[in-house]
Chains A and B, each alone.
Chain A
Amino acid sequence: GDSVTQMEGPVTLSEEACLTINCTYTATGYPSLFWYVQYPGEGLQLLLKATKADDKGSNKGFEATYRKETTSFHLEKGSVQVSDSAVYFCALIQVGGTASKLTFGTGTRLQVTL
């Protein structure tokens, strides 16, 4: 079946440091890929997505590029802020069908300090 693997956390960075959170996937066909963010005590919010190979999703300074050849969708940010502290989930969905069933990674906690 489909699966998503994320780097284990927590990731601890100083403010203004560069961020990379690795995500790789296993899936048949051509899934769409997502990054969701979860702030403490809250639900998930969509951060960015990419629907086909070589697409780059971006939002709030975060970027991720859909790399089919390496089955990866790594999340990057050039300069993190304390407010970016959260848990980040990589997820995929198979294109087609009516109800969109997401497959999630285990999440990576990011802690940004002053």
Chain B
Amino acid sequence: DGGITQSPKYLFRKEGQNVTLSCEQNLNHDAMYWYRQDPGQGLRLIYYSQIVNDFQKGDIAEGYSVSREKKESFPLTVTSAQKNPTAFYLCASSPLHRETQYFGPGTRLLVL
């Protein structure tokens, strides 16, 4: 089955630690996205990538980093510079020049 997988489902971060969230898709989509969801708020765009080895900042990129070395993969690193990382993180993908995005099941990040 084609789809988007995110791992782990839950992730715990200690103070000063970087953590990496995985996002993999086998839909052959060119574009991939990372969103952050906080309670009572909509989704906010962190980073997006339209093509391998290229990515752009979204609305709330500070304290995050990404890479796009393969078409199928778009990992997100939450760095120690992100002071309020507790949130639900959603990865999405879409074909280029297409509007509909397809979402993964999400990773919940908690700070110890």
Chain A residues within 8 Å of B, Cβ to Cβ: 4, 32, 34, 36, 41-46, 49, 51, 89, 91, 93, 95, 98-102, 104-107
**Residue of A4, A93, A105 touching B99 (CB-CB under 8 A):** A93
Q: How far is the CA of A50 from the CA of B88 in the complex (A)?
A: 27
Contact (Cβ within 8 A) B100 A49: yes
Tell me whether B50 and A107 are in contact (CB under 8 A). Answer: no
- Closest A residue, CB atoms, query B96: A98
9 A–B contacts from the bound complex (CB under 8 Å): A43-B6, A89-B42, A91-B42, A95-B99, A98-B31, A98-B97, A101-B45, A106-B40, A107-B41
Q: Is B43 a contact of A100 with CB atoms below 8 Å?
A: no
Whether B40 pairs with A43 at a CB distance below 8 angstroms is: no
**Most B Cβ at <10 Å: residue of A36, A46, A95, A102:** A102
Say whether B99 contacts A100, CB under 8 Å: yes
* Residues of chain A within 8 A of B40, CB atoms compared: 106-107
